[in-house]
Amino acid sequence: MSGKIISIHSFRGGTGKSNIAANLAAFAALQGKRVAVMDTDMASPGIHVIFGLGREKMKYTLNDYLRGTCDITDTCIDLTNRLDIKKGKLFLIPSSMAATDITRILREGYEVGDLKKGFTDVIKGKDLDYLIIDTHPGLDRETLLSMATAHILFVVARIDEQDLLGTAATLSVARKLQVPEIRIIINKKPGIYENKAIISEVESKFKARVATIIPLLPLLIEVGSRFVVILRYPENEFTKNIEDIYKLML
């Protein structure tokens, strides 16, 4: 298996994690890479909305694979042409939005080993350079597995005491799981804070490097997760933030 597993995590919801994962996947594909982004937030899936699939019926989802009704490669939706990506490849592995599927996975669970096998099988089956995993917030089975198998873990946090305390817990677990590389992404930074001060405090407190600091941008508020920002606004400051994260994956 040559492809890298990139886990995007946050301790709490609402950090902008899925938006970062979607834009990072698209950016990597624009650089000519073969990329898949997997939505393992099966309790509250949503990254497909950012890719414009909010109202589309999907033939297979991650839920179907975990039930044993299809192969993991069957769940891959090829977004390359839809998003007008010329050089690379971009696939989405969605989770089901159907209420019955969500309640079933919460009630019955699944074999964690099957999810791990799905990671390796999709990397091999689609010849991926990167598998980007959009995790469920907090620390649950899916999150622990995606951390344990990740080559790089990006932890997304806001300048908020609850977020930062949760980030400390996440980093502690990640280190016990011996994740090779861990970086912190500060998102939705209010204008009153200086980047230099944030980097100094966060890196000193958590003993982990800051990948980038994404300001609270009016454009992102206006977009509201309706599309992949870097594809429509390549000159926006947010695109530079995503590029900073991508460079750490190389």
For 156-196, what is each residue's pLDDT tens digit? 999 999 999 999 999 999 999 999 999 999 999 999 999 99
Q: Which residues face 39 on adjacent strands?
A: 134
Average confidence (pLDDT) over 53-80: 95
Average confidence (pLDDT) over 17-26: 98
5's CB contacts (< 8 A; 6+ apart) are 119, 123, 130, 131, 133, 146, 149, 150, 151, 152
DSSP SS3 for 164: helix
Q: Dihedrals φ, ψ of 135, to 5°?
A: -85, 170
Average confidence (pLDDT) over 196-223: 97
Q: Which residues face 34 on adjacent strands?
A: 89
Decide if 7 contacts 225 (C-beta within 8 A): no
- The sheet with strand 77-78 has its strands ordered as 77-78, 89-93, 34-39, 130-134, 4-9, 152-157, 181-189, 209-215
The C-alpha angle with vertex 35 and arms to 77 and 18, in degrees rounded to 5, equals: 75
Which domain, by its residues, includes 147? 4-247
Question: What's 188's domain CATH number?
Answer: 3.40.50.300
Decide if 47 contacts 22 (C-beta within 8 A): yes
DSSP SS3 for 186: strand
Q: Dihedrals φ, ψ of 206, to 5°?
A: -105, -5
How many domains does one find in the chain? 1
The C-alpha angle with vertex 244 and arms to 240 and 250, in degrees rounded to 5, equals: 135
For residue 122, the one-letter residue type is V
pLDDT at 142 over 90: no
Positive or negative CA dihedral for 223, 52, 48, 90?
negative
pLDDT at 127 over 80: yes
Confidence of residue 2 (pLDDT cuts 50, 70, 90): confident
pLDDT at 1 over 70: no
Q: Distance (Å, rounded) from C-alpha 96 to C-alpha 43?
A: 9
Average confidence (pLDDT) over 135-160: 94
Q: Of how many residues is the chain composed?
A: 250
The CB density around residue 194, as the number of other CB atoms within 10 Å, is: 11
Q: Distance (Å, rounded) from C-alpha 99 to C-alpha 77?
A: 21
218's CB contacts (< 8 A; 6+ apart) are none
